[in-house]
Amino acid sequence: MQLEDKAALVTGGASGIGRATALLFAREGAAVAVADIDASGAQLVAQEIVGRGGQAFAIQTDVAQADDCRRAVDHTVKAFGGIDILFNNAGIIRRADVVETTEDEWDQVMAVNVRSVFLMCKYVVPIIAARGGGAIVNAGSGWGLVGGRQAVSYCASKAAVVNMTRAMALDHGPQGIRVNCVCPGDTDTGMLRSEAQQLGAAEIEFLAGAADRPLGRVGTPEEIARAVLYLASDAASFVTGTVLVIDGGGLAG
């Protein structure tokens, strides 16, 4: 029970990596707030946790909106007495180059992927600090470290998350708050499959291309969740400002 007596807030918790992490956090003893714009999906995850004997609730949250972020944080504190762990997982992708990307698409990607991290941390950091410290894990991407084709807004947003992580680690380490970033490679989620649709590619062929890495496959949400658990737990008590790549060797060479 690596997270016994801890309270965690997970954004984008209704599906994919967020869902897998919320379930794993709960199995490790944490009370979990499942925040997502998909209210019904978040509710299903919370019900699954409660059905297994855990403690959880769901809250519909548009992470690009300050009022929604503040409300999610306030409800979590009211329900659990505080927050020890924040996983900024919510994200979207738009597959287009700079010419094809519209201004609205650019703004939306930046709002969901970057503004959300700023807002959630703005409201959560003082609460974690008041508890004597804790952990923040941000979801970056391999494309936050290297460029990718036809994904300019996504690459820019995830690069911002990576360096925001480092800046926050410097600022809030003295408060006992560790801030780290996971950078997954292609992972078998709905978002990955949506990329095939955006590019007009056959899903089977697209997923086969995504698996072209040393381990010969895409990752699973549960594999990414285990890395998030490590960074959120006391096992990583001397780890902050780091970027953990989980990509089956995709960036190795």
Per-residue pLDDT tens for 86-117?
Answer: 999 999 999 999 999 999 999 999 999 999 99
What pLDDT does residue 253 have? 86
- Residue 174 in tokens: 């003295």
In angstroms, the CA 28 to CA 57 distance is 16
In angstroms, the CA 5 to CA 64 distance is 29
- Residue 21 in tokens: 């992490």
- Which band of pLDDT confidence, cut at 50, 70 and 90, is reported for residue 194? very high
Domain 7-184+220-245 has CATH 3.40.50.720: yes
Per-residue pLDDT tens for 23-35?
Answer: 999 999 999 999 9
Q: What amino acid is encoded at 23 in this protein?
A: L
Residue 80 to residues 127, 208, 241, 244, Cα–Cα distance (Å)? 12, 43, 27, 29
Quote the DSSP letter at residue 62. Answer: -
Confidence check: pLDDT of 169 > 90: yes
Confidence check: pLDDT of 51 > 90: yes
In angstroms, the CA 112 to CA 161 distance is 11
Q: What amino acid is encoded at 66 in this protein?
A: A
Angle at 222 between CA 117 and CA 75, to 5 degrees: 40
- Give the catalytic positions in this structure: 154
Could you state, in order of their start, the residue ranges of all structural domains in the chain?
7-184+220-245, 186-218
